[in-house]
Amino acid sequence: MPVNPWTLFFIFSFLLFLIVPASGVNPQGESLLSQKRSLNRSPQALSNWDATDETPCGWFGISCNFNNEVEELNLRYVDLLGNVPSNFSSLMSLKRLVLSGTNLTGSIPKEMGKLRELTCLDLSDNSFTGEIPSEIGNLFKLEELYLNSNRV
């Protein structure tokens, strides 16, 4: 018995509808969620960062461009605690990174030097130690750099 092509079309469309939302957040969002998991943050911090969202563009502290690429991560005075994550490789459109007063410790990751679009880097009012990575010098678009109130 032949199958009606419209029946196949509707079955395929329905299955596609079920699969696409299950794919979850895009690679930038996955990177941010990975960074969130690596921190000893307070339970309330970043509570609306949800892996089931398609993009991180509606998350607290995130601003995106018209292509849904993260352009700003502003978590000023959010109680994050711990070392600053070093995996920023998927955030290549990031222009502003503001992590001031977030109780971050350890050294400033040299990987931040790969964020070539960065115009503002604010890591002030934390407990960073060690040297300022020379890779920060690769940020040719950087206009604002705030590292005050640290131990660097």
Question: Residue 44's pLDDT is what?
Answer: 87
Mind listing the pLDDT tens digit for each residue in 116-138?
Answer: 999 999 999 999 999 999 999 99
pTM of the model: 0.83
Q: List C-alpha distances in Å: 76 to 9, 51, 101.
A: 49, 22, 6
Strands (E), 75-138: 82-83, 96-98, 104-106, 120-122, 127-128
Domains and their CATH numbers in the chain: 25-146 (3.80.10.10)
